[in-house]
């Protein structure tokens, strides 16, 4: 071979790729040797492959899976930068969520948050007919979904000749996060005869007992609102006489001047 070709060992040293990594990328078709000696099995790489190899090395050092690296290699440098900036933003959001979770565990280990725990209450809620809309959604789209669903429900109530000022509740039937979607239901209490319309459903919300916490203004937005959920869950964990029987909800308007309450159904 000529000087423009390098044995795998030398090529790996020049591009910061281990022999194991070079074998893996060859098997995956990411970085294939230009020549394999049939007698010795030695693998040779062209010097012109070094930029691609260094790019693969840098992308892998970001912790990206091989499938994602393969996609990024096919992009122009400009498009690749845009994709990586979007990925980095998502990583920062995920790190912020993880940091908040660690802080929540620390607060729980230190006895919770007395200021929040002091406002926890119990209440009986009567059975109520509601008009609702359900959707699979994540955190990023939640606020828009709540606004849209509430507007459509109250508009439908007015068009049906019924009062539209009933209590609104947001039911989290599944866990949602920045990474995962779940089933969310927006419900508005109503009275009188009403027909469903489109994806608006009508159902009876059974009577229940709730533990609830009015959300302070400083904790209304995500991820700060998770402090409220943590405080309620820690309070429930400490109570041997009560059991949580379902998914949490947020009710609007809240009590004690709060914009909304967070509540868990209990027995």
3-class secondary structure, 186: strand
Joined together, the tokens standing for residue 37 give 């000696």
Residue 43 sits in a domain of what CATH number?
1.10.1660.10
Same domain, 198 and 137: yes
Residues 140 and 195 in one domain: yes
pLDDT of residue 167: 96
| Same domain, yes or no: 162 and 128 | yes
pLDDT at 115: 79
Distance of CA 43 to the CA centre of its chain: 44
Same domain for 163 and 191, yes or no, is yes
pLDDT digits (tens, 9 = 90+) for 100-109: 778 777 766 6
In degrees and rounded to multiples of 5, residue 225 shows phi and psi of -60, -20
Q: Which two tokens stand for residue 156?
A: 């439908």
Mean pLDDT on 82-100: 88
Which residues span the domain enclosing 244? Answer: 114-266
CB 235 within 8 A of CB 112: yes
Check whether residue 27 and residue 158 sit in a common domain.
no
Which pLDDT belongs to residue 107?
67
Is the pLDDT at 110 greater than 90? The verdict is: no
CATH number at residue 182: 3.20.80.10
Q: How many domains does the chain have?
A: 3
With tokens 């239901």, the residue in question is 185
Name the DSSP letter for residue 244: B
Mean pLDDT of 241-265: 93
Q: Are residues 55 and 160 in the same domain?
A: no
Residues 223, 124, single domain; the answer is yes
Average the pLDDT over 54-66 and give the result.
Answer: 93
Tokens of 240: 């041997």
252 DSSP β-pair partners: 168
Same domain for 46 and 84, yes or no, is no
Query: Strand 43-46 to strand 5-7: parallel, antiparallel, or no bridges (unpaired)?
Result: antiparallel
Residue 95's pLDDT is 87
pLDDT tens, residue by residue, 129-176? 999 999 999 888 999 999 999 999 999 999 999 999 999 999 999 888
47 and 102 co-located in one domain: no
**Quick one: pLDDT at residue 145?**
96
Banded pLDDT at 112 (limits 50, 70, 90): low
Give the whole-angstrom CA distance, residue 257 versus residue 78. 50
Q: Which of 63, 90, 110 is the last residue of a domain?
A: 110
Token look-up 């892998």 returns: 60
**Distance (Å, whole) CA 248 – CA 210:** 9
Identify the H or E element spanning 86. helix 77-109
Same domain, 183 and 252: yes
Q: Before 223, cis peptide (omega within 30)?
A: yes
Q: Are residues 124 and 246 in the same domain?
A: yes
179, β-bridge pairs: none
Residue 209 and residue 122 share a domain: yes
Q: Rounded to an integer, what is the distance from CA 157 to the centroid of its chain? A: 32
Mean pLDDT of 214-224: 88
Residues 6+ away with beta carbon under 8 Å from 252: 167, 168, 169, 170, 259, 260
**Residue 116 pLDDT:** 86
């Amino acid at each position: 071979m000529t000087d423009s070709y390098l044995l795998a060992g030398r090529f790996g040293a020049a591009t910061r790729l281990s022999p194991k990594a070079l074998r893996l990328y060859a098997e995956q078709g990411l970085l294939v040797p230009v020549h394999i000696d049939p007698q010795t099995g030695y693998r040779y790489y062209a010097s012109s492959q070094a930029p691609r190899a260094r790019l693969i090395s840098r992308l892998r050092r970001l912790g990206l899976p091989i499938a994602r690296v393969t996609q990024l290699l096919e992009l122009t440098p400009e498009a690749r930068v845009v994709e990586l900036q979007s990925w980095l933003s998502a990583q920062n959001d995920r790190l912020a969520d993880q940091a908040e979770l660690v802080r929540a565990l620390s607060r729980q280990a230190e006895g919770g948050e007395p200021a929040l725990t002091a406002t926890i209450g119990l209440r009986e809620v009567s059975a109520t007919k509601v008009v609702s809309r359900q959707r699979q959604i994540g955190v990023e789209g939640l606020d828009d979904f709540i606004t849209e669903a509430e507007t459509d429900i109250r508009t439908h109530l007015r068009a049906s000749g019924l009062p539209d000022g009933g209590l609104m509740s947001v039911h989290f039937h599944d866990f949602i996060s920045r990474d995962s979607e779940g089933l969310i239901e927006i419900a508005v209490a109503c009275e009188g005869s009403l027909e469903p319309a489109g994806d608006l459903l009508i159902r009876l919300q059974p009577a229940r007992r709730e533990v609830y916490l009015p959300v302070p203004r400083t904790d209304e937005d995500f991820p700060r609102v998770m402090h409220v959920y943590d405080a309620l869950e820690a309070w429930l964990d400490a109570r041997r006489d009560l059991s949580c029987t379902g998914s949490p909800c947020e009710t609007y308007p809240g009590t004690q001047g709060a914009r909304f309450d967070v509540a868990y159904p209990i027995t």
